[in-house]
Each structure stands twice: as structure tokens, then as C-alpha cells.
């Protein structure tokens, strides 16, 4: 049976402000007219939105936790 790989990776936000795109990227981008006005922050694990995601369950005949028990907060509803 096929099982998707367990990947843990993020997106490098520095790529969004790259001065010159690479050769392939030049075909799909335009020069920015101004400096990007974007701010990113890491959301803490105790954030309500993150808690809801970590406590999520699958939608199946017998629902299961969407994340492993080691990642799941202790205050999730049953």
C-alpha cells in the first residue's frame, strides 16, 4: 500500500524578496515596482487556530487523530 512520506519542511521567505529570479523564474515573474510590504511571524503552539489544527480528527467511519499522539496537545476534546 502507498503511504505518503512524512515531510517536515518550511518555505524560505527570503525567496519572496530575491533580487533577481533564476533563469526559469524570469519567465514567470516581473520586476517589483516597490519593496514588498510583507511581515511573517511564527505562530505559537498555544494559539487557538494552531490548537484546533493539532486537535483535528479525520473524517472516516472510525475517526482518528490527524496528528500523532506525541504532537497532540493534552487539552484536546475527546
CB atoms within 10 A of CB 55: 15
- The rounded average pLDDT for each run of 10 residues, N- to C-terminus, in the chain (78 residues) is 76 64 67 72 86 88 87 84
pLDDT in the model for residue 6 = 79
Task: Round to whole Å and give the CA distance between 21 and 29.
Answer: 8
Contacting residues for 49 by C-beta, under 8 A, at least 6 apart: 43
pLDDT in the model for residue 24 = 67
- Give the global pTM: 0.45
Task: Round to whole Å and give the CA distance between 34 and 25.
Answer: 19
Task: Round to whole Å and give the CA distance between 72 and 53.
Answer: 9
Specify the 3-state DSSP secondary structure of 57.
Answer: strand
pLDDT in the model for residue 17 = 63
pLDDT in the model for residue 38 = 73
Amino acid at each position: 500500500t502507498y503511504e505518503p512520506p512524512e515531510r517536515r519542511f518550511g518555505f524560505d521567505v527570503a525567496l519572496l524578496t530575491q533580487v533577481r529570479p533564476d533563469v526559469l523564474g524570469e519567465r514567470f515573474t516581473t520586476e517589483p515596482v516597490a519593496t514588498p510590504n510583507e511581515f511573517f511571524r511564527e505562530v505559537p503552539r498555544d494559539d487557538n487556530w494552531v490548537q484546533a489544527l493539532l486537535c483535528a480528527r479525520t473524517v472516516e467511519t472510525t475517526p482518528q487523530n490527524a496528528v500523532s499522539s506525541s504532537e497532540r496537545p493534552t487539552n484536546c476534546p475527546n
